[in-house]
Amino acid sequence: MPTSGDRVEIDALALAQALIRRPSVTPKDAGALDMLEAVLKELGFVVHRLPFGDIENLYARLGDDGPHLCFAGHTDVVPVGEGWSTDPFAAEVKDGTLYGRGAADMKSAIAAFVAAAARNGKPPEKFKGAISLLITGDEEGVAVNGTVKVLEWLKARGEKINHCIVGEPTSSAHAGDTVKIGRRGSINFKLAVKGVQGHVGYPQKAKNPIPALAGLVSQLATHKLDKGSEHFDPSTLAFTSLDVGNDATNVIPGEARAAFNIRFNDKHTPDSLTNWVKDRAAIIAQESGCEITVTSQTSGVSFLTAPGKFTQLISDTIAGITGQSPFFSTSGGTSDARFIKDVCPVVELGLAGATMHKADECVPVAEIAALTDIYAAVLAAYFAKPPL
């Protein structure tokens, strides 16, 4: 690593390639965090390895004082799948584009942030405050032994984070064109309607669960949950399954099932939605005489980092680099920001994610450089005038 004064220069592309060459498909780490640890130690970070269950995690901090800006991300990647035209773990650059599993989601962003931190130099000479990286190996999986546990560990140590950037691939065409300031929540429901099985010729002696379920499905699917809120699109409800599993033409089945997912904004909570579904089900159960069971499982609550000093700093800094203010978005799936939001204001700022989780996942090398410049400028602006 070439050094100039107390700054160590990191080549973000080379680091991204080295990370991609560690095939860290959840829950495997494959040496990805070992490599990151070595690089961060070289930069003066104090590194803690935090294994929970079968998951490797890393927390690294540079600087003892506040304010404290944390970068959160993950080194785990989703399985390769099929249809690649290159080796997904070779990290080849072809025509100015880096290919590999994790190129977009999100090893290149980690590399960009490490390079930006290196450029920012060491405290207390170059800045006052602390930079940390919270990197988990359990984002693409069940997310039980990752960020949640590291945040608990930080809390137990009395370590306070003031602001956090999550490096998920949230941009749309170019790094920094979109910043996520919130995410919708996600909740899965299962409906089971129990009637009484019988002969189709004697329906009066049976209780058919299918019309009851169809009625409930229709009511739920056509209901408008809301019209959206100040920062969010309208909530959506999508059925994913409708099952009877009955091949007999002369039998009224005893049970019918359905499943659906709701992506909800800040106008709802998991409880309010569950109560709504249960109320609708109770009415249909009474009308039909069938027994209806509703079960739900929340996979993430919605969150919003209300626009303020921190989001303004991010926006102004990006505009200074790219010439355009980012679009603040709250769309898309869930991320570990759903856990971090309980600790401090959090935004998601990373590469464009068009190829994430797909075959031939890739990112233009110029985009990695652009994101490095953005992260470096955010660090400089943050410590020059902390948004506290």
Please give the residue ranges that form the binding site for Zn ion (CB under 5 A).
105-106, 168
| Catalytic residue, candidates 29, 76, 138, 348 | 76
> In whole angstroms, what is the distance from residue 364 CA to residue 348 CA?
20
202, 203, 207, 208: CA torsion to nearest 10: 130
Question: Quick check: 162 and 344 in contact, CB under 8 A?
Answer: yes
In the bound state with Zn ion, the residue whose beta carbon lies nearer, of 106 and 284, is: 106
- Nearest residue to Zn ion by CB is 105
> How wide is the angle at C-alpha 53 spanned by C-alphas 52 and 59, nearest 5°?
20
Nearer to Zn ion, 137 or 364 (CB): 137
Minimum CB–partner distance for residue 30 and Zn ion (Å)? 17
Considering only CA atoms, which of 170, 136, 57 is closest in space to residue 336?
Answer: 136
Cβ proximity of 182 and 304 under 8 Å? yes
Question: Does residue 16 sit in helix, strand or coil?
Answer: helix
Of 77 and 91, the one with the shorter C-beta distance to Zn ion is: 77
Assess contact for 181 and 231: CB atoms under 8 A: yes
Q: Which is nearer to Zn ion, 147 or 311 (CB)?
A: 147
DSSP 92-118: -EETTEEESTTTTTTHHHHHHHHHHHH
Rounded least distance, CB 48 to Zn ion, Å = 22
Q: Which residues contact 16 (CB under 8 A, 6 or more apart)?
A: 91, 98, 103, 107, 108, 110, 111, 112, 368
200 neighbors 252 (Cβ within 8 angstroms): yes
Spatial CA neighbour of 193 closest among 256, 263, 237: 256
Q: How far is the CB of 101 from Zn ion (least distance, A)?
A: 12
Is 56 marked active-site?
Answer: no
Cβ–Cβ < 8 Å for 69, 37: no
The least distance separating Zn ion from the CB of residue 384, rounded to whole angstroms, comes to: 30
The nearer residue to Zn ion, 168 or 266, going by C-beta atoms, is 168
The conformational region for residue 141 under phi > 0 = left, psi -120 to 50 = alpha, else beta, is beta
Cβ of residue 76: shortest distance to Zn ion, in angstroms? 9
Name the catalytic one among 29, 56, 138, 139.
139
Looking at the Cβ atoms of 81 and 228, the one nearer to Zn ion is 81
Whether residue 76 lies in the annotated active site: yes
In angstroms and rounded to an integer, the radius of gyration of the C-alpha atoms of the chain is 24
The distance of closest approach from Cβ of residue 176 to Zn ion in the complex, given in angstroms and rounded to an integer, is 17
Q: Catalytic residues, which ones?
A: 76, 139
